[in-house]
Amino acid sequence: MLATGSKLMTVPRRPNPGLLVAGVAIAILVLLPIGVTAGNAVAAGWSLAVMLLWRPLTGELLTNTLLLIGCVTVACALIGTGTAWLVERTDLPGRKLWGVLAVVPLAIPAFISSYAWLSLDSSLFSNFGGALLVVTMSYYPLIYLPVAAALREMDPALEETARALGNNTRQVFLRVVLPQLRPALLGGMLLVALNTLVEFGAFALLRFRTFTTAIYAAYRAGFSGAEPALLAMVLIALCIACLVAEQLVRGTARYGRLARGTRAAATRYSLGKARIVAPVVLAILGFAALAVPLGMIGYWLTKTGNAATTVAASDWAAVARASWASVRLGVGGAALTMALALPLGMLATRSDGWLVAVLERAAYLAQGVPGIAVALALISLTVHDLHPLYQSTFLLLLAYSVLFLPLALVSVRSALMQAQVRLEESGRSLGLGRLAVLLRITLPLAAPGLGAAAAMVFIAITTELTATLLLAPIGTQTLATQIWANTSTVAFAAAAPFAAAMAVMSMLASWLLARRFGAASVLSIAHGAV
C-alpha cells in the first residue's frame, strides 16, 4: 500500500510467471471438453444438426428436463426453506435432531435413492413422479443448509422493528425475512437446478428420459458421434443458462448487518397447535429421504432368492474389491485435483490483473459442464488423437479433476486467503526462496482448508457414476458401477451390499468432514462455488 496525500493506492501484484503458465494450462484443460464437444457438433454439419435436434425426441427431452428442473427446484425451495424456518425460528420440539436429519440426505447419492424406490415398486416409480420424488428428497438439503445459515446470521432487530410497526408473523416473513434470504435461496436453487440437469444415474434407473440418459443411449448405440455431441451441447447451453439466469436474478445487491457488535438472540415464534403437526410432517420427510433408502438396502441385504442371487448378494469379497477401487480412485483423483487447484488458487490470491481473473473464471466453467459431456469429449479426443490414454486410469482421474476442480478451488482459495501474506513476505526477507516459503509457511497455514478441499473431492469421486461408467478401464469395478450393473438388470439383492457399502462410506466421510470442518463443507460436496 502506498500513501499519497489522503489517498491509499494498492500496488498491483504481478503474477509469478510459473504460476501464470500453470494457470493457462489448467484453463485449457478445463475448456478442452467444451471445445471438443463443440468441434464434434460442428463437424456434424448444419443439415444433420437440424435433423437430429429438430425432431420429436429432442422436444420430449427438453420438455422432460425443463419441467423436472422447474418442479424439483420449486419443491426443494419450499421444503428446504420451510424446514430451515422451523428449525431456526420456531419452538419446534427436537430442533437440533431435525436439523441433523435435514442434512443427512446429502450423503446418500441420488442413484442410491432411486435404487431403493425402484426396488420398492418398479412400476409405480418409473415415471416423472418417481424422478421428482427421488431428486427432491436428495437435493432439498442444498437449500436447507444455506437458508438455515442465513437465518442464523440475520439481524433479529429487523424482525423486531417490523413487528413493532404492526406486521404479523406472515407479513414479517414475506416482507423482511424472505428478501434477506434471497442470496442464499437463489444460490441453493441454482445448485438444485444444476444437479438435476446433470443427474444421470437416478433417471437412467427410473427409466425417465432426459438429456443425460439420451446422450448415454446415443453413445452406446455407436452409430455416430454427432448425436451425443449435439445433445451434449444443448445440455451445456442449459447449464450455462442456469448460471446466467441466477446471476441476473440475484443482481448486485449485498445483504448484511452494518453493526458488528454483539447480536441479540433471534425470537422464536410459537407454533401453537402446529407443534404437533410440524414434527409429523418432518418425520414423513425424513422417512422418504432416509428411511426408505436405508430400509430398502437393509431389506435386500437379508432377502434370499435363487442360488445365483444369493451368492452374488453374499459376495462380500467383491464388495471389498469395489470399495478398494473406489477409495483408490478417490485418493488419486483428489491428489490430481488438488495439484491443479493449488497453483490456480495461488495465482488468484497472490496476484492481480484481468488475465488472472479470466483464468480463474475459466476454471469455474467446469461447474456448468455435465459429467457425461466431459467423459464423451475425452473419449473422442483419446480415440482419435491420444490413443495411448484411451481406457487408462489416468484419463479417468483427469476427468475427475476437470469435474471437481471448482469444488476444490473454492476451499483452496479460501484457505490461501486466510494464510497471511505478511508472513510469506517476512520469510522471503529472511532469505527463503519461493518454494521454501510455500512449503514452510503457506502450506502449513492453509493445511486445514486444503484438507477440507481434498476430503470433499474424495467424497464426490467415490460417489460419481457417469464418468466412471464411461471411462473406467476394462475390469475396473467401483461401488457405483456395481450398483448400476446389478440394478440395471433388476438384481436388487445383488446390488444391496454395494449400495450399503457406498451409503456407509459416504455418510461416515460426510459426518467426519462436517465434524472437522463444519456443515458448510457438506454443502460444497454437491457442487462447486455458485
pLDDT at 261 over 60: no
What per-residue confidence (pLDDT) applies to 80? 92
Q: Which of 294, 336, 250 is nearest to 105 (CA)?
A: 294
39 forms beta bridges with none
Please check whether residue 79 is in contact with residue 137, taking contact to mean a CB–CB distance below 8 angstroms: no
What per-residue confidence (pLDDT) applies to 488? 78
Distance (Å, whole) CA 477 – CA 231: 28
What per-residue confidence (pLDDT) applies to 75? 95
Residues 217, 329: one domain? no
User: Among 289, 306, 338, which residue terminates a domain?
Assistant: 289
Residue pointed to by grid coordinates 443482481: 251
Residues 321, 242: one domain? no
Q: Using one digit for the tens of pLDDT, what is the confidence trace for 131-147?
A: 999 999 999 988 888 88
Q: Using one digit for the tens of pLDDT, what is the confidence trace for 484-504?
A: 888 877 788 888 888 888 888
Look at residue 19 and tell me if it is in a domain: no
**pTM (two decimals):** 0.81
Look at residue 462 and tell me if it is in a domain: yes
Look at residue 13 and tell me if it is in a domain: no
Q: Using one digit for the tens of pLDDT, what is the confidence trace for 154-192?
A: 767 777 777 777 777 777 777 777 787 887 888 888 888
Q: What is the mean pLDDT of the chain?
A: 80
Q: Is 220 exposed, middle or buried (0-12, 13-18, 19+ CB in 10 A)?
A: exposed
- The mean per-residue pLDDT over the stretch 376-395 comes to 87
User: Cβ of 28: how many Cβ atoms within 10 Å?
Assistant: 12
Please check whether residue 520 is in contact with residue 145, taking contact to mean a CB–CB distance below 8 angstroms: yes
Residues 222, 346: one domain? no
Q: Which phi-psi region, left, alpha or beta, contains residue 518 (left: φ > 0; alpha: ψ -120 to 50)?
A: left
What per-residue confidence (pLDDT) applies to 418? 67
Residues 229, 356: one domain? no
pLDDT at 3 over 50: no
Q: Which phi-psi region, left, alpha or beta, contains residue 90 (left: φ > 0; alpha: ψ -120 to 50)?
A: beta
Cα radius of gyration rounded to whole Å, the chain: 24
Dihedral sign from CA coordinates of 421, 427, 430, 435: negative
Rounded to whole angstroms, what are the CA distances from 127 to 64, 68, 124, 208, 492?
A: 11, 11, 7, 6, 19
Residues 49, 150: one domain? yes
Q: Using one digit for the tens of pLDDT, what is the confidence trace for 332-349?
A: 999 999 999 888 888 888
Q: How many domains is the chain partitioned into structurally?
A: 2
pLDDT at 313 over 50: no
Look at residue 67 and tell me if it is in a domain: yes
Look at residue 523 and tell me if it is in a domain: yes
Q: Residues 343, 344, 347, CA angle at the centre, nearest 5°?
A: 85
Please check whether residue 329 is in contact with residue 468, taking contact to mean a CB–CB distance below 8 angstroms: yes
* Of 366 and 194, the one with more pLDDT: 194
What per-residue confidence (pLDDT) applies to 519? 52
H-run or E-run covering 185: helix 182-198
Distance (Å, whole) CA 335 – CA 329: 10
* Of 406 and 415, the one with more pLDDT: 406
Instruction: Categorize the per-residue pLDDT at 401 as very low, low, confident or very high, splitting at 50, 70 and 90.
Output: very high
Residues 160, 236: one domain? yes
Residues 249, 334: one domain? no
pLDDT at 115 over 70: yes
Residues 329, 238: one domain? no
Residues 145, 237: one domain? yes
pLDDT at 100 over 60: yes
Look at residue 89 and tell me if it is in a domain: yes
H-run or E-run covering 493: helix 492-517
Residue 397: domain span: 314-370+385-530
What per-residue confidence (pLDDT) applies to 523? 52
Look at residue 295 and tell me if it is in a domain: no
- The mean per-residue pLDDT over the stretch 53-79 comes to 91
Residues 100, 209: one domain? yes
The CATH number given to whatever domain includes residue 522 is 1.10.3720.10
What per-residue confidence (pLDDT) applies to 384? 79
Q: Cell numbers at residue 77, please?
A: 425451495
Please check whether residue 417 is in contact with residue 349, taking contact to mean a CB–CB distance below 8 angstroms: yes
Residues 227, 355: one domain? no
Residues 347, 418: one domain? yes
Torsion of CA 438, 444, 445, 446, to 10 degrees: 80
Q: Using one digit for the tens of pLDDT, what is the confidence trace for 14-53?
A: 777 888 888 899 889 988 888 888 888 888 888 888 888 8
Distance (Å, whole) CA 404 – CA 197: 16
Look at residue 191 and tell me if it is in a domain: yes
